[in-house]
Amino acid sequence: MLKNLLAILACMLFGFSYGQVKSPAEFLGYPVGTKVTPHWKVLAYYDHILKQVPGQVKMESYGESYEGRPLRVYYISSAKHIANLDQIRTNNLKLAHALEGDGDSNGPAIVWISNNIHGNETSSIEASMLTLYALVDPQNSKSKAWLENTLVILDPCLNPDGTERYNNWYNGVVGKNYNPQLYAREHREPWPAGRYNHYYFDMNRDWAWQTQQESVLRASIYNKWLPHIHVDFHEQGINSPYYFPPAAEPLHEVITPWQREFQTTIGKHNAKYFDSKGWLYFTKERFDLFYPSYGDTYPIYSGAIGMTFEKAGNGSAGLGVYTDDKDTLTLVDRAIQHHASGLNVIEIVSQHAPKVVAEFKKFGDDAASGKLSSFQTYIVKYDASREKTLRALLTLLDKNKIKYYAASGSVRGFDYFSKKDGNHTLQEKDLVIPGNQSKGALIRVLFEPEAKLTDSVTYDITAWSLPYVYGLPTLASKSKLADLRPYSLDSIQNTVGSNFGYAIKWDGFSSAQLLGALLKQQVTVKASDQSFKIGAEEFPKGSLLIMKNGNKQKEVDKLVKAEADRLQVRVYAIQSGIMEGGKDLGSSDVKTLKAPKVLMMAGEGLRATNVGEVWHYFDQQLQYPIVLVNPTDFSRVKWDEVDVFIMPNGNYAFLKDKAQSAEFASWIRKGGKVIALEGVVSQLAAQEWSAMKVAKQDSATKSKSNPLKKYGDRERGALENYTAGAIYKVTIDNSHPLMFGIKDYFTLKQDANLYQYMENNAGWNVGYIQENAKMSGFVGHQLGKKLKNGMVFGTQKLGQGTVVYLADNVLFRNFWESGKLVMANAVFFAVE
């Protein structure tokens, strides 16, 4: 191994070549790590290898990033395996019970290596070229032997848009020689940083939710393979030398003894090599295995040994940087270490290949028999008024290859909303998700009401149970159900041609998507703030009415049909202007909705991921225009053209500028609408005109400090007042337009902030947390006592304008499905 790596290093540095197969240094014209290589050039090197050794390498394109850059994987193995790729793949899916039939356990072990999901963590994409070369180098007898029983799948770059954002910036600011001073500008990456994709999403939080195009495409090809080992390469701060498995607690309970054991085997093997080089590292710290949407956990819950590897580096490292202990951290070293880890993993997996495959099969067998489940069945109860949200859930299940059914009979189980056990007679459209299937472990993690934490110090949120995220009444049952039938909801094909017009129920996010699409196309749309009936159909508050007479848009029928069919939303023909149980169509309470002009600031000072959540929501989900403005351009905005100003989390300098904040308040008073998110609520609460006040703690719940606390307990002690993210029930006033179409709302509480109820008609308290409202997740016991009797969602009228306060993130990572309608209500309806 050592000799082998030295040989590779020599090639890398001096550019030796073997026949037609060029080393990366020879191909690039410089040793790997001495320059930051553009994405296209990395792919060009891969294609060079593909051309030279077609028998051992195969490429599959799996789509494009948002900015149109290619997404690809390369398969590398012995000629025998490369000739049989599809047979290996389908056989493997049989082992996982993802395909019918008996799989054969004699196939090769499958190692998948993912690089650069965070685009400014530069070393892994560079290292991957060295790894590719080591695997195909004709002189390398070791790798040849590994590939006899191992198939390697290399994804050179999961996030090419972020990678190129970083690379272009870095190559533009670095001089002929790099400057290692940390305060030099080449170590000060500008907003929003290359870590994120086009919409500023952290894609290493998005594996399960797949809100981003790159995530959807990757999960699709990943689930077509289900590899046995998944390596996810990253970089951490420049002063933390190297992290590799085994992972830190908490580990989710569903993780099997074998998955734990083999992480340790891999870690020890890597440690041996690092020790031989005198390289520093740590294991079992910081990087836990709990939240399901990472590049280690998602593969683990799908049967792999999923692992994170972190080298010192990231956007501040450049080609070389001084660390705190006066060492110089170089990209050359970073690449060499990730390259070494990659080869070490392949080597140890090859040594254990039969066992790796056998254990993968066992995971599949256990998942399929329900051994990995805590509850055996999840039943999402059908409610016609939540069908749109149910459709959104089905989309998520399909993306994750989770199978669902219909069934009959009765069942006993835990009711998520009441938190009590109860009986339920199954209805025709109730959705049944059996725990005993290929994705049984993932189902358990996504659905179980409460995941057991072995340690409360965790890297991320502690609750994400889908019935709360979607606001769908669900039972978790210990029973398996028999006689499962295929499940589907009717595909919606609307019939149009009414003389009068159409009504659309306001009861899910797709209602809002349809509204956005119609407004964008100049269709005149009205909304009723009273519920009404057409025949037997009930239309809740907020439902939309589209009259043909007097409509600005003359092609109403055609547009309504096209958009409603695309979004799978039912439209109902209106036969008469008299509405049963509601105001008639000519009533002044049936108001025409204005197509609001929406603006948001996006730039330095604001949290990029929160800006990205709003941007993606408008641009991709609503497909409704939003103007993004640099925060420094406050005074350039033509505010009289703006109707809605959205303020994602961050610091707004204009609020501290006397003249600008006065201009802002005067814009609201003249009829502007502000939607303040998360921490911005407290910034606005500090303005003299705001009716919001942070909730006071009563003396009984004030935490008393313990003077005799132990030093060694300080980390855990700090958790008493902490939550990383837990789910709370929000009591809602759904007669208020901000909550139209919502029946139950559960919020992700990520901080200690609650607000006092607004009194004396100062505003509306639309969503608040009462006693015993915690549904799921970890909250420190001192904080737990405080999180009650306070407001999270409210509105205030100011002059002719409105301020909407959303203290919790309703668009969290854009998977918090029920929050999307709250945001749409805030944008489109008069919410004073």
Where on the chain is the footprint of Zn ion (CB under 5 A)? 118, 121, 234
Helix, strand or coil, per DSSP, at residue 512: helix
- Which residue type is seen at 25? A
Q: Please state the closest distance from residue 827 (CB atom) to Zn ion, in A.
A: 33
Q: Please state the closest distance from residue 310 (CB atom) to Zn ion, in A.
A: 7
314 vs 400, beta carbon nearer Zn ion:
314
54: DSSP letter: T
197 vs 723, beta carbon nearer Zn ion:
197
234 vs 338, beta carbon nearer Zn ion:
234
Helix, strand or coil, per DSSP, at residue 432: strand
118 vs 813, beta carbon nearer Zn ion:
118
Per the rule left: phi > 0, alpha: psi between -120 and 50, beta: everything else, 803 is beta
Helix, strand or coil, per DSSP, at residue 778: coil
The Cβ of residue 497 has, within 10 Å, a number of other Cβ atoms equal to 7
Residue nearest to Zn ion (CB): 234
Q: Please state the closest distance from residue 204 (CB atom) to Zn ion, in A.
A: 6
Q: For residues 502 and 525, is the Cβ–Cβ distance under 8 A?
A: no
Q: Please state the closest distance from residue 69 (CB atom) to Zn ion, in A.
A: 19
CA pair distance 711, 152, nearest whole angstrom? 47
What string of DSSP letters covers 123-154?
HHHHHHHHHHHHHH-TT-HHHHHHHHHEEEEE
**Among 646, 638, 633, 632, which Cα is nearest to 598's?**
646
Placement of tokens 């670095």 in the chain: 174
Q: Please state the closest distance from residue 314 (CB atom) to Zn ion, in A.
A: 7
Q: Roughly what angle, to the nearest 10 degrees, separates helices 213-225 and 85-95?
A: 90
97 vs 234, beta carbon nearer Zn ion:
234
Q: Please state the closest distance from residue 614 (CB atom) to Zn ion, in A.
A: 23
Q: Please state the closest distance from residue 286 (CB atom) to Zn ion, in A.
A: 12
CA pair distance 619, 598, nearest whole angstrom? 12
154 vs 798, beta carbon nearer Zn ion:
154
Q: Tokens standing for 652?
A: 């707004």
198 vs 311, beta carbon nearer Zn ion:
311
The C-alpha angle with vertex 140 and arms to 138 and 145, in degrees rounded to 5, equals: 100
Q: Please state the closest distance from residue 279 (CB atom) to Zn ion, in A.
A: 19
Q: Please state the closest distance from residue 72 (CB atom) to Zn ion, in A.
A: 20
Q: Please state the closest distance from residue 202 (CB atom) to Zn ion, in A.
A: 9
The two counts, helices (H) then strands (E), for the chain are 24, 35
CA 455 to chain centre: 23
Task: Name beta bridge partners: 110.
Answer: 151
205 vs 786, beta carbon nearer Zn ion:
205
Dihedrals phi, psi of 573, to nearest 5 degrees: -75, 140
CA pair distance 407, 112, nearest whole angstrom? 38
Helix residue ranges per DSSP H, 137-204: 141-149, 160-173
194 vs 435, beta carbon nearer Zn ion:
194
Q: Please state the closest distance from residue 225 (CB atom) to Zn ion, in A.
A: 22
Dihedral angle computed from the Cα positions of residues 137, 139, 143 and 149, in that order, rounded to the nearest 10 degrees: 100
The Cβ of residue 788 has, within 10 Å, a number of other Cβ atoms equal to 17
Q: Tokens standing for 11?
A: 């090639």
121 vs 155, beta carbon nearer Zn ion:
121
Task: Name beta bridge partners: 320.
Answer: 330
Q: Please state the closest distance from residue 121 (CB atom) to Zn ion, in A.
A: 5
Q: Tokens standing for 708?
A: 């005799």
Dihedral angle computed from the Cα positions of residues 199, 200, 202 and 203, in that order, rounded to the nearest 10 degrees: 30
Q: Please state the closest distance from residue 236 (CB atom) to Zn ion, in A.
A: 8
203 vs 646, beta carbon nearer Zn ion:
203
CA pair distance 285, 278, nearest whole angstrom? 20
Q: For residues 413 and 476, is the Cβ–Cβ distance under 8 A?
A: yes
131 vs 510, beta carbon nearer Zn ion:
131
CA pair distance 38, 421, nearest whole angstrom? 57
The C-alpha angle with vertex 767 and arms to 765 and 771, in degrees rounded to 5, equals: 105
Q: Please state the closest distance from residue 232 (CB atom) to Zn ion, in A.
A: 8
Q: Please state the closest distance from residue 10 (CB atom) to Zn ion, in A.
A: 30
Q: Please state the closest distance from residue 118 (CB atom) to Zn ion, in A.
A: 4
Q: For residues 508 and 389, is the Cβ–Cβ distance under 8 A?
A: yes
66 vs 459, beta carbon nearer Zn ion:
459
Q: Please state the closest distance from residue 294 (CB atom) to Zn ion, in A.
A: 10
CA pair distance 230, 250, nearest whole angstrom? 19
What string of DSSP letters covers 703-735?
PPP-TT--GGGHHHHGGGG--S-EEEEEEE-TT
Buried b (16+ CB within 10 A) or exposed e, 703-725: eeeeeeeeeeeeeebebebebbb
78 vs 293, beta carbon nearer Zn ion:
293
315 vs 763, beta carbon nearer Zn ion:
315
Buried b (16+ CB within 10 A) or exposed e, 23-60: bbbbbbeebbbbbbbebeebbebbebbbebbeebbbbe
121 vs 678, beta carbon nearer Zn ion:
121
